[in-house]
Amino acid sequence: MIERLKKNYYRNKTIYFCYMAAIVMYVAAMIIVPGFGVGTHVRSLMLEASLIGIMALGQTFVIISGGADLSMPWTMTGSAVLLTSLSNQKDDNIIWIILLILALCTIVGMLNGLGVAYLKIPPMIMTLGMNSILQGALLVVLRGSTGGLAPQSIINLATGSLLGIPNLFIFWITLGFAASVLLHYSTYGHKLFALGNNEKAAYFTGIRVKRVKMMAYVISSLAPAITGILYAGRLGQSYLGMGDSFLFLTIIAVVLGGASPMGGSGSSIGTFAGTCILIVLKSFLASANLPTSAQDILNGIVLIVAIILMSGKNRKRDRL
């Protein structure tokens, strides 16, 4: 029993460290910044963490496969804009509109997967190119307009709460649980980790690596689709570029949560912890009245340091 606990600790010590770091940072922020632990501010942190966390869950699948999805910003923006434009503030056909958005984002994920898995285009090149295509397509369709207002049902969904817990947070936890089951208790999850660890070895064991990789990009595209719908509801509107600030935040959250940028490791639980660290840090910097440019610089430094640490851990594992 003790030996099993030791193995579990060493296997997940990065995740434990993330949770400890998040708690320490939160307590420190409460001491330094007046009102940081007030209920309204905590609720605000939960809402912001939920939006980034849902997108980061999708990013987790792609990073485990050894890639990255840079098309998330305009997949999210496109989902929000389609919601507000097609609904015209009415709830009549909202279910069909949401299904259409999810279908279109599934196609985006399949195209990303096709380019990466079948055409062997580097993931960053393929997804960044897709991001530009989506941006241009939205600009053409909207003809310079900024989006529109969200229907009341989505506003109620995104701003409401259950027993005092924000609906967005409940969505995040539910999707995180589903992602954890898929990653660690399904055949697909085992294949994805095998692919991320060694694609060639996975191929020779009979895994259809191209299909597994494509599915990771489909899941990754559905995450910003859901986030875009919920974010439009939280704001009550959509606007062009609303997803731009989310891109590197999702990657930072996943890597901080213990995922290797080289692929083969990661978890939804770790991503949850990484998101918590990121949000506490981001809110603390904002409370310190640092300019946005300084916050972006620090976010970049955090990402680079996290990647260096995880890459070093990966090299140590390979030597063993």
Query: What span, in angstroms and rounded, lies between the C-alpha atoms of 186 and 319?
Result: 29
Looking at residue 309, its pLDDT comes to: 61
Establish if 135 belongs to a structural domain: yes
262 by Cβ neighbours in 10 Å (0-12 / 13-18 / 19+) ranks as: middle
Looking at residue 161, its pLDDT comes to: 85
Tokens representing residue 157 in the block:
């969904």
Average pLDDT along the chain, 320 residues, taken 10 residues at a time: 51 71 79 75 85 92 91 92 86 90 94 93 92 87 74 90 88 92 91 87 87 94 94 88 83 83 81 86 73 70 67 49
Total structural domains in the chain? 1
Establish if 260 belongs to a structural domain: no
Establish if 24 belongs to a structural domain: no
Q: Which domain holds residue 91?
A: 38-244
Query: What span, in angstroms and rounded, lies between the C-alpha atoms of 202 and 194?
Result: 6
Establish if 131 belongs to a structural domain: yes
Establish if 291 belongs to a structural domain: no
Looking at residue 7, its pLDDT comes to: 52
Looking at residue 30, its pLDDT comes to: 79
Establish if 307 belongs to a structural domain: no
Looking at residue 99, its pLDDT comes to: 94
The single-letter DSSP state of residue 116 is I
Establish if 88 belongs to a structural domain: yes
Q: Are 228 and 76 in contact (CB under 8 A)?
A: yes
